[in-house]
Amino acid sequence: MATASSNGEQKTTSKPPPLPSPLRFSKFYQSNMRILVTGGAGFIGSHLVDKLMENEKNEVIVADNYFTGSKDNLKKWIGHPRFELIRHDVTQPLLVEVDQIYHLACPASPIFYKYNPVKTIKTNVIGTLNMLGLAKRVGARILLTSTSEVYGDPLIHPQPETYWGNVNPIGVRSCYDEGKRVAETLMFDYHRQHGIEIRIARIFNTYGPRMNIDDGRVVSNFIAQALRGESLTVQKPGTQTRSFCYVSDMVDGLIRLMEGEHTGPINIGNPGEFTMVELAETVKELIKPDVEINMVENTPDDPRQRKPDITKAKELLGWEPKVKLRDGLPLMEEDFRLRLGISKE
Ligand SMILES: NC(=O)c1ccc[n+]([C@@H]2O[C@H](COP(=O)([O-])OP(=O)(O)OC[C@H]3O[C@@H](n4cnc5c(N)ncnc54)[C@H](O)[C@@H]3O)[C@@H](O)[C@H]2O)c1
Ligand SMILES: O=C(O)[C@H]1O[C@H](OP(=O)(O)OP(=O)(O)OC[C@H]2O[C@@H](n3ccc(=O)[nH]c3=O)[C@H](O)[C@@H]2O)[C@H](O)[C@@H](O)[C@@H]1O
């Protein structure tokens, strides 16, 4: 019987999980673990694929529509016998035979998710419904990459998983935050109604190599701007905070959550909290001390503060982040220099 720890309470579902494929019970032939990663051509997804492929018992299938992701992120695996790449939009059903589903497909940068908000909400709602339907048919365990944005502009700080959030349901960010909130609801409804084995990660701002250079998110913007010698665009007031997690820590947390016994939701993020002015000062100091910082207009509903309470991740997954911002930024700088063709002076 699956155990759900939501909002601090222990809840159970009376439904047993659907049976996995008969291949799992095969006496003489032990097949590999077949893992679907939706959104696997994106930033976090491609790092997750790298880690999963390290295990020779894993076969990995990526389904991605390349809206914000790229085949380039996966080029070292294309042609590998344990790897398959499918151009597929998760708003359409997908028929594959797998044991685990990491469901990441969704644009994550505010610029991209606001570009076509109706498509963003369809991706979150219909896309998650399709992946849950797949999980139900094949008896797979499914992990959703939800977000700290489900807390909206939080009135509690730091944010524990028990906090229900402060989200504008009709704002320009709602396609993403409310979309992810509905995706979490669907996950728990399939769990309670059909016994599906679910895992929910609430990811806090993650950064690292392979982020799109013109992704629009703050860390990639500042690094690209510093390298190009452009002024760093701090959106007003600049006192808003975020907590930045390096991508290798994130991938480790996601795999522990998938492999563990807890449904979540579990916050995965680095509690080191910085104002955007502090972040700009750090990038300036590490990458280009003579670059200017330019205060620019902000966008609506920007959360004023965000920091994960990671007590649950520590206790239930034995996870905590290892990479500090000052150590992670130079690793990302190196990758951006290579891609932009700007060598260190
Ligand atoms: N990076 C972060 O800070 C962060 C924070 C919270 C949550 N998340 C979540 O983690 C996941 C990955 O984020 P990321 O930072 O790697 O973003 P990303 O934009 O680099 O990756 C998203 C991937 O999903 C694909 N995609 C988008 N819509 C799709 C669709 N309809 N069908 C198939 N593929 C589709 C994109 O092409 C891309 O490859 C997302 O679900 C995001 O909401 C990320
Ligand atoms: O971690 C999360 O849960 C979410 O974080 C992000 O949302 P946001 O934190 O707003 O991401 P950014 O666009 O990187 O903005 C962070 C802060 O930097 C500021 N910013 C952004 C860009 C810029 O050039 N300058 C700047 O000061 C923004 O105003 C904001 O306060 C994205 O929505 C998602 O990737 C993710 O789900």
Q: pLDDT tens for residues 182-240?
A: 999 999 999 999 999 999 999 999 999 999 999 899 999 999 999 999 999 999 999 99
**Beta carbons of 44 and 103 less than 8 angstroms apart:** no
Which residues in the chain belong to E strands, given as ranges?
3-6, 9-12, 33-38, 58-64, 83-87, 100-103, 141-147, 198-203, 206-207, 232-235, 241-243, 245-246, 266-268, 273-275, 293-296
Check: CB of residue 123 under 8 Å from CB of residue 90: yes
| pLDDT at residue 12, rounded to an integer | 61
Q: Does ligand 1 have an atom closer than 6 angstroms to the CB of 225?
A: no
- Report the separation in Å between the CA atom of 293 and the middle of ligand 2, taken as the mean of its atom positions: 17
Please tell me the predicted confidence (pLDDT) of residue 6. 46
Q: How far is the CA of 15 from the centre of ligand 1 (A)?
A: 31
3-state SS assignment for residue 6: strand
Confidence tier at 7 by pLDDT (50, 70, 90): very low
**Do residues 203 and 319 lie in contact, with contact meaning Cβ atoms separated by under 8 Å?**
no
| CA dihedral over 226, 229, 235, 236, signed as positive or negative | positive
d(CA 186, CA 156): 25
Backbone angles phi, psi at 106, to 5 degrees: 170, 135
Give the closest residue (by CA) to ligand 1 atom 44. Answer: 108
Cβ of 64 less than 6 Å from ligand 2: no
Q: Is the CB of 244 under 6 A from ligand 1?
A: no
Q: What is the pLDDT of residue 13?
A: 75
* Number of the ligand closest to the Cα of 276: 2
Quick one: angle between helices 325-340 and 276-287, nearest 10?
Answer: 60
Residue 234, both tokens: 């701090």
Q: What is the ipTM of this complex?
A: 0.97
Q: pLDDT band at 25, cuts 50/70/90? A: confident
Ligand whose nearest atom lies closest to the CA of 74: 1
Give the SS3 label for residue 342. coil
* H runs (alpha helix) in 202-246: 218-228
Q: What mean pLDDT comes out for the span 243-264?
A: 98
176 part of the active site:
yes
**Pairwise CA distance, residues 230 & 121, whole Å:** 34
Longest dimension (CA), the chain: 66
Which atom, in ligand 1's list, is nearest to the CA of 66? 37
203 lines ligand 1 (CB under 6 A): yes
Residues 6 or more apart whose CB falls under 8 angstroms from that of 277 comprise 234, 238, 239, 293
Least confident span in 21-35, 51-65, 96-110: 21-35
With CA atoms as reference, report the closest residue to 186 among 147, 258, 133, 119: 133
> 126 with 187: CB under 8 angstroms?
no
- Identify which of 302, 140, 128, 136 has the alpha carbon closest to the alpha carbon of residue 205: 302
pLDDT bin (cut points 50, 70, 90) of residue 29 is low
| CA dist., res. 57 & res. 72, Å (int) | 24
CA of 218 to the centre of ligand 2 (A): 6
Mutate to test the pocket of ligand 1, among 47, 61, 62, 67 (most ligand atoms within 8 A of CB): 67
DSSP state string for 23-58: GGG-SS--PPEEEEEETTTSHHHHHHHHHHHTSTTE
Whole-angstrom distance, CA of residue 144 vs CA of residue 23? 25
The angle, 0 to 180 degrees and rounded to 10, between the axes of the packed helices 247-259 and 43-53 is 60
Does pLDDT of 1 surpass 60? no
At residue 345, does pLDDT exceed 90? no
177 lines ligand 1 (CB under 6 A): no
Instruction: Give the pLDDT confidence of 73-91 residue by residue, as tens digits.
Output: 999 999 999 999 999 999 9
Q: Please name every residue paired with 266 in a beta bridge, in sequence order, or none if there are none.
A: 201
Catalytic residue among 176, 190, 207, 246: 176
Q: Three-class SS of residue 275?
A: strand
Q: How far apart (Å, rounded) are the C-alpha atoms in residues 296 and 317?
A: 40
Candidate of 104, 119, 181, 206 to mutate for ligand 1, largest count of ligand atoms within 8 Å of Cβ: 104
pLDDT at 9 over 80: no
Contact 166, 231 (CB under 8 A): no
Atom of ligand 1 at shortest distance to CA of 211?
20
List the chain domain ranges: 3-207+246-268
- Pocket lining: 97 vs ligand 2, CB cutoff 6 Å: no
Atom of ligand 2 nearest to the CA of 204: 1
- Give pLDDT tens digits for 136-192: 999 999 999 999 999 999 999 999 999 999 999 999 999 999 999 999 999 999 999
For the chain, give the percent of residues with pLDDT over 90. 88
Going by C-alpha positions, the residue among 173, 191, 205, 196 that lies closest to residue 302 is 173
Q: Which ligand 1 atom is the nearest neighbour of the CA of 70?
A: 39
Residue 16 reports pLDDT greater than 90:
no
Of the residues 149, 225, 243, 306, which should be mutated to test ligand 2's pocket, given the most ligand atoms within 8 Å of the CB?
A: 149
Confidence of residue 4 (pLDDT cuts 50, 70, 90): very low
Residue 17: predicted pLDDT: 82
Q: At what angle do helices 117-138 and 174-194 cross, to 10 degrees?
A: 20
Which architecture characterizes domain 3-207+246-268 according to CATH? 3-Layer(aba) Sandwich (3.40)
pLDDT over 70 at 3, yes or no: no
